[in-house]
Amino acid sequence: MAMRPTIIAGNWKMHKTISEALTFINELMPLVDSASAEIYLAVPFTCLAAAAEEACEAENIEVGAQNMSDHEDGPWTGEVSGRMIKEAGADFVILGHSERRQHFNEGNGIVNQKLKLAYLSSLQPIVCVGETQKEHESGHAHEVVEKQMRESLAGISREDAASLILAYEPIWAIGTGKNATPEVAQAMHSFCREVLKKVWDAETAQKIPILYGGSAKPDNAVQLLGQADIDGLLVGGASLNAHVFSQIVNANVNNQVA
Ligand code: PGA
């Protein structure tokens, strides 16, 4: 029976300076040294190098970025390329987070371009999808998420897909304190896995971890992680405090592939 890893990813968003990042990592390491979950920390660009070096001591912590440019290099003032973040120590990159989609006009085409560049820079991508409250309430979640997935993931080989992580983050649950119930989240994750089958094939779809994001906290982590197709969590607010985040990391569950 093949297993998907359990991944607990923290997305710090625009929080923490270098010194704050180092304090966090030093607080976190002893709290999670026997955790079975893989820990991902998506940190601001400015603390990437320092955080990656500090986390080197911990075998179960990966450090990555929250975004990257959709260009390889060139006259793009203020942008940061995949190659730059890779050399700064990033193992992975979050792409298409709803805050990028909503506030920075990132459509599926841009996410797809970034995804191709992430593979070119040997960065493991975490591609985010999710519907708005209005789309959720009007019964369009499936349609919206399938379109986001098909367009964002277009043109990626099976070999590259094997290292992809997908994150389902309903926008109505992000930063609202109102998480999707485990049942609602599981139903969407199972739907996402069906779409992954259509994009590639059943074998590839079974290998791709699907993370849930949106008000994940210590008190809902165990139930969420207990669902068959929820392979981990993408945590915003609750990833900023090392003690709180460690409780989510230590919510000890194995996810098995049928
Ligand atoms: P939240 O954010 O945990 O604060 O809801 C999740 C995210 O935006 O990735």
CA distance 219 to 55: 26
Instruction: State the Cα torsion 99-4-181-198 to the nearest 10°.
Output: 70
Question: What are the pLDDT digits (tens) for 83-97?
Answer: 999 999 999 999 999
pTM of the model: 0.96
Question: What are the pLDDT digits (tens) for 204-255?
Answer: 999 999 999 999 999 999 999 999 999 999 999 999 999 999 999 999 655 4
Question: What are the pLDDT digits (tens) for 30-61?
Answer: 999 999 999 999 999 999 999 999 999 999 99
42 lines ligand 1 (CB under 6 A): no
pLDDT of residue 253: 57
235 lines ligand 1 (CB under 6 A): yes
Q: Which of 80, 149, 83, 165 is nearest to 111 (CA)?
A: 149
**pLDDT at residue 257 greater than cutoff 50:** no
Question: What are the pLDDT digits (tens) for 131-177?
Answer: 999 999 999 999 999 999 999 999 999 999 999 999 999 999 999 99
CA distance 166 to 8: 13
pLDDT of residue 162: 95
pLDDT of residue 252: 67
Which atom of ligand 1 is nearest the CA belonging to 213? 6
DSSP string, 70-101: SSSSSS-TT---HHHHHHTT-SEEEES-HHHH
- Ramachandran angles phi, psi of 118, nearest 5°: -60, -45
**191: helix, strand or coil:** helix
214 lines ligand 1 (CB under 6 A): yes
**pLDDT at residue 99 greater than cutoff 60:** yes
Place of tokens 């985040």: 245
**pLDDT at residue 256 greater than cutoff 60:** no
Q: How far is the CA of 240 from the centre of ligand 1 (A)?
A: 11
169 lines ligand 1 (CB under 6 A): yes
Can you name the residues that pair with 222 across neighbouring β-strands?
none
**202: helix, strand or coil:** helix
Q: Is 97 a catalytic residue?
A: yes
Place of tokens 């060139």: 74
* Contact criterion met (CB below 8 Å) for 213 and 7: no
